[in-house]
Structure 1
Amino acid sequence: MCAVLLCSCGSNDELIEQKPDDTVYVTFKVDGLNQQLHDNVQAFLDTMPAIAKERVFLFNREIRENTQKALRAFGYYHPEIKVELPKRDDPNATEVVVSVDAGKPLFIRNCNVEILGEGADYKVFSDLLSNSSIKSYTLLDHGAYEKLKSDLRSKALSLGFFDVELLSSRIMVYTEENFADIELLIDTGKRYSFGKFITDETTDELLKPVESLMTLNEGKPFSTKEISDYQSSLTRTNFYRSIDITPQMEAIEDYKVPLKVHLERRSNNLMRVGAGFSTDEGPRMLFEWDKPLLNSSGLVVFIC
């Protein structure tokens, strides 16, 4: 294989030869852990900047710290870590071996998770808590804890609790005793409802044939699923080419969220003609006729 030499011009127009980079970089091998811990430690180490073999001894502390962070994410705060660097006099040795004894994981002693506000009595939140692994007398998993916080907030927003607030989020770790206490308090605030439709004249006319499908009535509790379901209902009529429903958060009044709706009608008839060839059946023709299921009066169209 030929090495490619990059050249640049000096001030005296002479060519200056640039030698190819022959730096040898190290890789990491993790030993002594189960698959979950191994994968997390490996991921942490692999995200470190590339380390030249001749300088790897300078990164011993960073390697240990990244290994510790990866293990703490799953509640292991007392690991024993051994870092074996590649031999300098062996040109083929480029692997840093990180051998780990994870030790005992931390357990959650007291877990206090509370939902406050109007959403306190909603089963959807209690279900999220029940299905989470964040409970007393279980292993501490920082990833599961962050997921629970994110899931609770996302669900609150999807239900129209737009003032949801995280009042307290604490993990108190007692490393010597090998346990942790958790406090998580979330106030959902008040649930918002649907406001008026904001439409143009064309959309007003296009909504008339589907008045019976309306589910986003003003005053009904807000829900992104309700919006999605209504949009799906409109799509199934095959009457519209484009359906756009957007909550107008900047126009909220009295806890009501207006919805901007824009519709575009499809052509009355869409036809497609094509040709193909099958090894079993020979030449084949394709003819499709796509017709809306509703007409402009809202009547169901039957195709015989």
Structure 2
Amino acid sequence: MTELRLWPVSRCSTIRPALRLLLVLLVLPMAQEIQALKLEVRVEGLTGEYEKYEKNVLALLGIYQERKDKDLSVPRLEALHRRAPGQIRKALAPFGFYRVQVEDTLTRPTVEDGAWVADYQVVPGEPVRVGQAQESVDYRITGPGAEDPIFPKAFPIQPGNVLLHSEYDKATDNIRSLAARNGYLDYELTFNRALIDLDNYQAIIQFHLHTGPRYYLGDVSFTQDLLDDRYLARFVGFKPKDRYDPEALLTLQGNLLGTEYYERVEIVPHKAAAGEKRTVPIEVIATPNKANKYRFGFGYATDVGPRVTLEWRRRYLTRWGHTLKLETNISQPLQRMKGDYRIPIGNPLRDYVTIRPDLRSYDIAGRKGDIQTLQVAHSVVTPGGWRRTAGIDYRREQFEITADDAELVNELVPNITWSKTVTDDPVYTTNGYRIKFALLGTTQGLISPASYLSGSARFKWIKSFLDHYRLIARSDLGASWANSVFDLPASRRYFAGGDNSIRGWALDVLGPDDPSTKEAVGGRYLAVGSLELERRIKGNWSGTVFTDFGNAFDPDFTRQVEVGTGLGIRWRSPIGQIRMDVAFALTKDSSPARLHIVIGPDL
């Protein structure tokens, strides 16, 4: 018979503290175990010529990647340590090291709350080389294209060279690309491998490519109903029976998408229809884009203050690719509405005839007026990369500079410009330049009340150096040949001052002064320069020091060279730099600081 005994209440109260103590003793080691471990990982031996491989080793070393993991436990740590030597050897293999020695130790903490130390002493050894015998590189091009000179006569990696996996992959990819780009669509790799003989510690390369027959590009057809096929044919940069080149097809696709006529463009080669002559017909399937594009913008510049921009673009108007753009810019001192009706000619990607109406109204320090212009111009890109635009303007300008210098002028002005921009980044340029030359003039009696000839050159250059520095140089030069500055309408005279001229002065307040009013009337000559040194401070922020100098001049008036200098800060935004400058007019009698703010790309 089992005896059931009941503890008295006083006895139970004695046991409960003991149970609590036992529970604490059981849980405490578990709590210590789940605390985040401190771990230090050391990889030594990759110094000097081997230092460049350390980054790849650490990237593949699991114990290094998980060293700060809050959930890292002792069992996990020990497992990672066991795998580490193999991971180090694997990380060094692509660089030709196959006899890597790794001495590893894992040291427990010697003090409470101390760190574990995982130490790996690495001896990379000598890299493996391709065998010295000629048969160590078995390179063969066979098939109908075996004698085609596009293929290298010898494999880029030769006997005795160190076997770098990246170089091997680059060499094989290049040969395969040559085959594909030259019409060998059915090429086949019968061998493509690099073998490592660890006993003799040498590499053997086997690369065999069978070219198959060569294919050619055929006629191009267009599946779309937006534009005339004869116009679209001008975008095709190859001729039927040219060797088949996938890059030519990608270029055609990119050119059509770049026009914004189409939302999607698919290039379909019909290889199955190539026939005995292996001429592949090409089908272009294009989906039209939306006809209208709208843009709203807001900007700010000290010269004009807040500015609102409205733009409407008609992506296509006729079956021959004509386009239309209307743009309105509104600010306190300047209002402008301009249009651009563009007719593609010649190379439709870059050559066109343009008709540009332009309406402007301005009221700035020193003058005010209204200008209505209609320009017809022919614009092409020359073989040297210059944009050449030649045209003729009809201009009606009513202006007032002083009470005695106000007039209504009608002109018919032939003009020509050459411009070129070279930049590594159109938004934030680290190295590049922009240059523009212009020549225009008119003859008295050809609607115009006076004769003159005017030429100008504008240049901006940006050069980066020492990682964090940019040097920015700018120059504006101009000259007009006329009997008097008063024979020129206000928009044809030269003025200086402002955000993009000589900082420290307001927009266009510099130039020859009227002796009686002391207000600038403009000049027949312009010479303005600027030097700026910019240094990146942190992230997208940089600082700059600058000096601007020059003026507008005229032989009939006396005018000195003006100089401004100052400091600025820059912030690199997605739409270009936001430039904030504090400028001082050094040659002005009283020269309070003037703030200049400009937003936009560098060039």
TM-score, L = length of structure 1:
0.73
How many Å separate the matches in 1 of 2:40 and 2:64?
10
Output the aligned Cα RMSD: 3.7
1:115 and 1:186 in contact (8 A); partners too: yes
- Give the Å deviation of 1:85: 0.9
1:28 and 1:46 in contact (8 A); partners too: no
Show the counterpart of 1:146: 169
Show the counterpart of 1:186: 209
Deviation string for 1:106-132 (max 9, x for gaps)? Answer: 1112323333334444555429954xx
- Give the Å deviation of 1:83: 0.7
1:210–1:247: structure 2 CA closer, same or farther, 3 Å change rule? closer
How many Å separate the matches in 1 of 2:36 and 2:79?
16
2:41 and 2:64 in contact (8 A); partners too: no
What is the one-letter code of the residue matched to 1:112?
D
1:215–1:121: structure 2 CA closer, same or farther, 3 Å change rule? farther
Three-state SS of the structure 1 residue aligned to 2:107 is coil
Show the counterpart of 2:139: 113
- Give the Å deviation of 1:282: 0.6
How many Å separate the matches in 1 of 2:154 and 2:264?
32
- Give the Å deviation of 1:172: 3.4
1:231 and 1:243 in contact (8 A); partners too: no
- Give the Å deviation of 1:35: 2.3
Show the counterpart of 1:177: 200
% identical aligned pairs: 24
1:22 matches 2:45: no
Show the counterpart of 2:250: 228
Which of residues 39, 44, 48 in structure 1 aligns to 2:55?
39
Show the counterpart of 1:94: 116
How many Å separate the matches in 1 of 2:139 and 2:181?
20
Bigger Cα displacement from structure 2, 277-286 vs 288-297: 288-297
| Structure ID, larger Rg | 2
How many Å separate the matches in 2 of 1:115 and 1:74?
27
How many Å separate the matches in 1 of 2:153 and 2:252?
25
1:71–1:275: structure 2 CA closer, same or farther, 3 Å change rule? closer
- Give the Å deviation of 1:291: 6.2
- Give the Å deviation of 1:67: 1.6
Bigger Cα displacement from structure 2, 45-54 vs 105-114: 45-54
How many Å separate the matches in 1 of 2:143 and 2:40?
51
- Map of 1:52-131 to 2, 5 A cutoff? 52-90=73-111, 91-109=113-131, 110-126=136-152, 129-130=155-156
Show the counterpart of 2:402: none
1:245 and 1:259 in contact (8 A); partners too: no
How many Å separate the matches in 1 of 2:91 and 2:54?
9
2:59 and 2:65 in contact (8 A); partners too: no
Q: Which runs of no fewer than 5 residues in structure 1 stay unpaired?
A: 1-18
Three-state SS of the structure 1 residue aligned to 2:121 is strand
How many Å separate the matches in 2 of 1:273 and 1:42?
49
How many Å separate the matches in 2 of 1:47 and 1:224?
45
Show the counterpart of 2:595: none
Show the counterpart of 1:247: 268
Deviation string for 1:165-217 (max 9, x for gaps)? Answer: 211123333334332221211223223223454543516x5322233443454
- Give the Å deviation of 1:151: 3.4
- Give the Å deviation of 1:244: 0.9
What is the one-letter code of the residue matched to 1:71?
L
How many Å separate the matches in 2 of 1:95 and 1:250?
62
Structure with the bigger percentage of helix = 1
How many Å separate the matches in 1 of 2:290 and 2:179?
40
How many Å separate the matches in 2 of 1:178 and 1:208?
63
1:293 and 1:302 in contact (8 A); partners too: no
Show the counterpart of 2:231: 209
Deviation string for 1:201-234 (max 9, x for gaps)? Answer: 516x532223344345443322122113333444
1:63–1:222: structure 2 CA closer, same or farther, 3 Å change rule? same
What is the one-letter code of the residue matched to 1:302?
T
- Give the Å deviation of 1:32: 0.7
1:276–1:80: structure 2 CA closer, same or farther, 3 Å change rule? closer
1:263 matches 2:290: no
Q: Which runs of no fewer than 5 residues in structure 2 stay unpaired?
A: 1-30, 67-71, 322-342, 345-352, 356-374, 376-603
Structure with the bigger percentage of strand = 2
Three-state SS of the structure 2 residue aligned to 1:284 is strand
- Give the Å deviation of 1:47: 8.2
1:252–1:25: structure 2 CA closer, same or farther, 3 Å change rule? farther
How many Å separate the matches in 2 of 1:212 and 1:52?
67
Deviation string for 1:131-183 (max 9, x for gaps)? Answer: xxx22221111232233223333443344433222111233333343322212
What is the one-letter code of the residue matched to 1:24?
L
- Give the Å deviation of 1:55: 4.8
